[in-house]
Amino acid sequence: MSILSNEQHELFRQEVRQFAEKEIKPLAAQLDETESFSVELSRKMGQAGLYGIDIPEQYGGRGLDTLSYIIAVEEISRVDSSQGATMAAHNSLGLAPIYNFGTEEQRKKYVPLLTSGEGLWAFGLTETNAGSDAKGVETLADEKDDHWLINGTKRYITNGSNELMKGITVLALSADAYGKKRFSTILVDRDSEGFSTKRMLGKMMWRASDTAEIKFDNIKAPKENLLGEKNKGLGQMLKTLDSGRLSIAAMGLGLAQGAFEMALEYSQKREQFGEKISNFQSISFKLADMAMKIELARNTLYNACALKDKGLPFGQEAAMSKLYCSEIAKEISDEAVQIFSGQGLFKSSAIERFYRDQRILQIGEGTSEILRMVISKHLGLE
């Protein structure tokens, strides 16, 4: 992995920002309105090198550091959270577990395809009774002589039903040598017999991303599709979520930056009482607080990335980053709507979409309540 200098990071930021402004921004409002997942945009993100940013070049990635990846998620989300969600979920939840825990054969089989833009991969944790409580997973994987027999249902799965989706990493219950249920992760290809998926529509946020319910009906997955060690799946998932929290934090940071920029620009154009509203202390102080919170959020997140790139523990900092960035995304988008006033309540204004999109950030990859528990445990508290 190549650790970039500050100057290289800023050059990379401009590269991603130009892509987002040119390719995504013109389509974002319409895709949101029609709740359409864009296969073309997803392919373009892969062709632009936005899948596998921190994956070695030998597998089709760019071999860059964690911060480069986080900057990319931030810049895409500054324009559109739906495309940010597609990119973040594919990288941190789709690609990363296969690269981090997979065999060399698994890496060669899946990773180059998934970095190219011609395939997306999903992450199967959440079920009706499993989310914050990961141990509530009820999907079963019975070990047979030459395969795993998988039955169950996953819900709220990002990138789970579109035509680019090639498969999913499934967390499932499996029996150990003593008959006790343990958790294992298994790679399940979409073309497996008994695999069915359905897109979940009617979301208030990320309307242009693909969220699905996936059912496994007596699916036979080859023994070699076990990801990592048997009975170690829960630990793999939790480690994946640590890194995934950095992605959600980056989405919150990018959304907050985009909302702030829109509010700042609007305040310098909108006039009331013969003055630009940015000249009123009540508005200028709002903008000052927004800028301060964004800077604090960025420093917190980038510090967590630096720890990860140095091979140091970063779980506590990832939880803090995700919690803080998601909370300031809420606060800043709310204040931005207040600055836009009535105009901010109509879909003709992009800030309305940003206000809706921020709401999931306090839920996905660990709710704000769960993250406070995680941080408390790192502090040695029960």
Active centre residues (catalytic) = 365
Contacts of 201 (CB under 8 A, 6+ apart): 35
Which one, of 235, 380, 234, 248, lies nearest residue 319 by Cα?
248
Contacts of 194 (CB under 8 A, 6+ apart): 216, 217, 218, 219, 220
Whether the Cβ atoms of residue 200 and residue 248 lie closer than 8 Å to each other: no
The residue type found at 171 is L
Which one, of 213, 138, 215, lies nearest residue 181 by Cα?
138
**Helix, strand, or coil here: 275?**
strand
**Helix, strand, or coil here: 62?**
coil
Whether the Cβ atoms of residue 76 and residue 24 lie closer than 8 Å to each other: yes
Question: What is the Cα–Cα distance from 233 to 226, expressed in whole angstroms?
Answer: 9
Tell me which residue has tokens 């803080």. 324
**Helix, strand, or coil here: 215?**
strand
**Taking the CA of residue 329 as centre, how many other CA atoms within 13 Å lie in the half-sphere pointing to its CB?**
32
* Cα dihedral across residues 325, 317, 248, 156: positive or negative: negative
Question: What is the Cα–Cα distance from 82 to 185, expressed in whole angstroms?
Answer: 27
Q: Which stretch of DSSP H or E encloses residue 123?
A: strand 120-124
Helices marked H in 20-103 — which ranges? 25-34, 39-47, 66-79, 81-88, 96-101
**Helix, strand, or coil here: 112?**
helix
Q: Per the structure block, which two tokens stand in for 205? A: 């946020």
Contacts of 192 (CB under 8 A, 6+ apart): 219, 220, 221
